[in-house]
Amino acid sequence: MNIGLLGCGAIGELIVEAYADGVLEDINIIMVYDQIREKAEKCASKISKSPKIADSIDELVGTPDIELIVEAASQKAVKDYALKILENGKNIMIMSVGALVDKEFYDLLAQTAKKRKRKIYIPSGAIAGVDAIKAASIGKIHEVELITRKPPSRFISDKIPGDIKIDPDMKEPIVIFKGDAKTAQNFFPRSINVAATLSLASIGPELTKVTIIADPSIEENIHEIHVKGEFGTLKTYVENLPSIKNPKTSYLAALSAIKTLKKISEYIEIGT
């Protein structure tokens, strides 16, 4: 399968490195694009047979040999380009899942994918238990809650709701958000995509509860999930090491993107 890469930041770079190491069999990265050309050049240079660097998003989307475009850029990129990618007859893998909490936009992409007979792939990201939650959603799920803890430095550039201030020298944990997954995405578009993934796999962005804690006592990104439904109770707890390329991104999120690409090209599928 020939793929194009949209976004050459932390996740994009790790995908390219996995490809260069031979992890992605039956996958060919033939083109990369980033608004900052130097990033695209850096990604391309990691591959012995360097992929073409697109001069524009239109070149990436319009290249007929590309079957799948991997979005690893931003929620804005998803909003701006996902529909165009599908309409041009290409599949898409979305990492900036927070863009999909907009139901109208989500429904438009779903309808377009169905009409064009294309696929939208959403990796599980930095959380555990998505397979079980998807299975549970066939029945009735009563309650879904995500509790995320991250070091305060991860939130320095975010718009914190209310009068809460992030102090780099803070000594005690502080709850900086408590609400639903849709609202969480508005305040933390880059650092809480896991809430969107969880909500889409379960009861929706407006019903999924989210608590976000800035915790100076930890170095990991911690995600704890509680689900109750007809199936019983599910609890997962993951301590994610941050990517060395971007502390706001968990390394596991990049690995889930790589595994999703492998799954697309594999002949045996394990899991829901």
Task: Supply the residues annotated as catalytic.
Answer: 223
* Distance from C-alpha of 234 to C-alpha of 257, rounded to nearest angstrom: 24
Query: Directed axis angle between helix 251-265 and helix 10-20, to 10°?
Result: 50
* Distance from C-alpha of 134 to C-alpha of 159, rounded to nearest angstrom: 31
Q: What is the DSSP letter of 75?
A: H
How many Cα atoms sit within 13 Å of 212 on the Cβ side?
A: 25
* Distance from C-alpha of 99 to C-alpha of 85, rounded to nearest angstrom: 15
* Distance from C-alpha of 109 to C-alpha of 132, rounded to nearest angstrom: 25
Q: Residue 10: which residues within 8 A CB-CB, separation 6 or more?
A: 243, 245, 246, 249, 254
Beta bridge partners of 141: 229
**Under 8 Å between Cβ of 216 and 231:** no
Burial of 120 (0-12, 13-18, 19+ CB in 10 A): middle
